[in-house]
Amino acid sequence: QEYTIMKMKLVEPYPAKLSALKKKPLFLVAATLRPETMYGQTNCWLRPDMKYIAFETKDGEIFICTARAARNMSYQGFTNKDGQYNVVAELLGEDLLGCALKAPMTLYEKIYTLPMLTIKEDKGTGVVTSVPSDSPDDYAALVDLKKKQAFREKYGIKDEMVLPYDPVPVIEVPEFGKLAAVTAYEKLKIQSQNDKDKLLEAKEILYLKGFYEGVMLVGEHKGKKIQDVKKLIQKSIVDKNEGATYYEPEKTVMSRSG
């Protein structure tokens, strides 16, 4: 599986657990299958109870992700030595919540790290960039946070990190309009980020329709079809060093969850 990794830069002051790393460029690195949606990022998701590490890349940057992803990256030329990565900090997602980030491409000047409880350990980097216009999971999790003040308080999330952020129209999908994930959420009557079956259904429909019928509404490829520009957008992200290509090995039969 080929992903695009998006480098989301932490804005200083860094959280307490990373204060020893001040002056170094720190990035949360999110794996996405949809680089063409990055204009619509509104926040970054972390799972509060999940373990993350910070490691140094061969370019002297610090990446934050799961140890599993760091190991994969170390075999893909991200570190000095194949198969080796240098851990400079160990953290839980909750240590990193409420941090301000600068993310490439999005129209929001600053976006924040927020909690998502359904992030999987064994996929991507464990850091997820949020595009509520086109990802039903992201829209559901954002609505959950906006609706429930108690949920925000539990994780120390301030109102201004969530309430001003709305889905941004970036792709038009026939029958689903300019905010396809919002339409799918409403059509399927999704209730929360835990509405697993409906979210899976919504995601599958939108992956397919988005790719074959979606049209860009913004950026240098405005008006063009996603299937014609997806690769070009990915390449431009990599060329600008705003991200990188990242591969995930096939799961073994033993660990396959279905």
Positions that interact with ligand ZZB (CB under 6 A)? 31-34, 37, 119-120, 123-124, 126, 128-129, 131, 134-135, 203, 206-207
Residues belonging to the chain? 258
- Quote the least distance from Cβ 169 to ligand ZZB, whole Å: 12
DSSP symbols for 73-112: HHTTTSSSSTT--EEEEEEEGGGGTT-EEE-SS-S-S-EE
- Quote the least distance from Cβ 219 to ligand ZZB, whole Å: 15
- Quote the least distance from Cβ 123 to ligand ZZB, whole Å: 4
- Quote the least distance from Cβ 210 to ligand ZZB, whole Å: 6
- Quote the least distance from Cβ 81 to ligand ZZB, whole Å: 26
Residue closer to ligand ZZB (CB basis): 90 or 121: 121
- Quote the least distance from Cβ 153 to ligand ZZB, whole Å: 24
Residue closer to ligand ZZB (CB basis): 14 or 244: 244
Give, in order, the Cα–Cα distances in Å from 158 to each of 53, 110, 211, 252: 25, 14, 35, 41
Q: Which two tokens stand for residue 64?
A: 């934050």
Q: How far apart are the first and last CA of the chain?
A: 16
Dihedral over Cα of 156, 158, 162, 163: its sign: positive
Residue closer to ligand ZZB (CB basis): 37 or 72: 37
- Quote the least distance from Cβ 157 to ligand ZZB, whole Å: 19
Q: How far is CA 160 from the centre of its chain?
A: 20
Residue closer to ligand ZZB (CB basis): 5 or 18: 5
DSSP symbols for 4-58: EEEEEEEPSSPPGGGGGGTTS-EEEEEEES-GGGGGG--EEEE-TTSEEEEEE-T
- Please give the single-letter amino acid code of residue 123: K
Helix, strand, or coil (residue 167): coil
Residue closer to ligand ZZB (CB basis): 14 or 29: 29
H or E segment to which residue 247 belongs: strand 243-247
The rounded distance, in Å, linking the Cα atoms of 191 and 78 is: 40
Residue closer to ligand ZZB (CB basis): 14 or 206: 206
Residue closer to ligand ZZB (CB basis): 93 or 126: 126
Which of 180, 177, 173 lies closest to 134, judged by CA? 180
